[in-house]
Amino acid sequence: MELIEQIKESLGMLTLNKTRTGLAILGIVIGIGSVIALISLGQASQQAVASQIQGLGANLLTVQPGAVSQGAVRGAAGGNTTLTNDDATAIASTPQITTIQNVSPELSRRSQVRTGSSNTNTQIVGVTPAYAQVHKITVDSGAFITQRDVDAINKVAVIGPQVVTDLFNGNSPIGQTLRIGTQTLTVIGVTTSKGGSGFFNQDDIIFVPLSVAQKQLFGVNYLSSIALEAKSSDQMTNAQNEVGYFLLARHHFNDPAQADFTITSQQDIVNTVSATTGTFTTLLSGVAAISLLVGGIGIMNIMLVTVTERTREIGLRKALGAKKGTITTQFLIESMILTFSGGVIGVLLGIAASYLYSVSSNSPFVVSPSSVVLAFVVSVGIGILFGWYPAKRASQLQPIEALRYE
């Protein structure tokens, strides 16, 4: 009962000066709200990027020319023209590789594209029909690239929804033409929207037959990458090893350290991006936590002022027999009410900010329960930490001196 009475008395004292109480709470509200919002936004960004990467295809391995330490094969020297159509054909046909079910040779370049008075700079990807299976591409209207288009070097194109908007103002582009460099291509299909932005915008792409990209558009005989679909997620590591050592032998290398190619998996990319996003989230949360420290110091200052203003009251209570522990508890409760109230408001504001951001940006809405629990623990901890000194100071006042205080 005594504790309940102390809580009621603390609430009464805090409501006597509402402006000062509100200013004391404000620092905690800003700090807790910022931490909750930044952690939520960071986790939402990680989920959004992971979802976009997974949308590139299931159980995906990517072989690229060059030399970067990765997976089962570590490259050390090489250029960007070391993968060829023959490499892709060999991977698809060799009995040595049993864990791959689809092989997609690809040539990707950015280029200016024009039609009528409209133009855009977008990604041009030379593909074979296997691309649709490997990357889980579906066509919203028209048709995708066929093997006949590749063999006959047909100047056709399948475009993403963003390209439709940029070049055709949202009108149906089927049967229309567009120009890439000096070549005119006929649009035969539009892909289903997959979303994304920046590097991962899968709607801002133009697909053309691989033979057209190599012989007509860019004049090269090599590939920028070979995408591989493993038979299952459990076989990803084995697939990476089989393909890696097969290409080592095919490129006449005995030492994996000399490989002129790199093999990456989706999970490698997801882990890298998530680690980077997590680092930035941690740094930003650390900056936001500084406001918690400032808010805690503000509460300590206000509690010290309160002790000074209530010196005669404290002296009277001690003269009437109040113990040091009772005085200490009284001021600690007041401090904890301030920080706990600020924590509740801060959590609600942080969640609201995260929700508004997710709605405005079409990103996932994520609130980590652990961050909410941590916010409450931190707010109460700040109340105890920064309320202890003023409470201790109040309890140590001598009754006679306190009663004489003017």
Q: Which of 24-33, 244-253, 301-310 has the lowest mean pLDDT?
A: 301-310
Most confident of 79-83, 176-180, 323-327, 348-352: 176-180
Residue 159: band (very low, low, confident or very high) from pLDDT cuts 50, 70, 90: very high
pLDDT of amino acid 69: 45
Query: b/e for 207-231, b at 16 or more Cβ within 10 A?
Result: bbbbbbbbebbbeeebbbbbbbbbe
Mean of the pLDDT values across residues 137-142? 92
Mean of the pLDDT values across residues 59-77? 62
pLDDT of amino acid 370: 76
Judging by beta carbons within 10 Å of its beta carbon (0-12, 13-18, 19+), is residue 109 exposed, middle or buried?
A: middle
With a CB cutoff of 8 Å and minimum separation 6, the contacts of 132 are 138, 139, 144, 145
pLDDT of amino acid 60: 86
pLDDT of amino acid 176: 94
Tokens found for residue 71? 């997976």
Tokens found for residue 347? 């959590």
Mean of the pLDDT values across residues 286-301? 73
Each residue of 190-238: pLDDT tens digit? 999 886 655 567 889 999 999 999 999 999 999 999 999 888 877 888 8
Give the helix ranges, DSSP H, for 251-368.
266-309, 311-319, 324-361
DSSP string, 76-110: -S--S---BHHHHHHHHH-TT--SEEEEEEEEEEE
Contact 165, 113 (CB under 8 A): no
With a CB cutoff of 8 Å and minimum separation 6, the contacts of 308 are none
Mean of the pLDDT values across residues 352-359? 84
Rounded-to-10 torsion of CA 192, 197, 198, 203: 10
With a CB cutoff of 8 Å and minimum separation 6, the contacts of 302 are 20, 23, 24
Taking the domains of the chain in order of start, what are their residue ranges?
Answer: 2-52+276-404, 107-220
Tokens found for residue 339? 């920080």
DSSP string, 20-68: HHHHHHHHHHHHHHHHHHHHHHHHHHHHHHHHHHHTT-TTEEEEEES--
pLDDT of amino acid 247: 92
More reliable by pLDDT, 233 or 310: 233
Confidence (pTM):
0.60
Say yes or no to pLDDT of 344 above 90.
no
- What is the average pLDDT value for the chain, to the nearest integer? 80
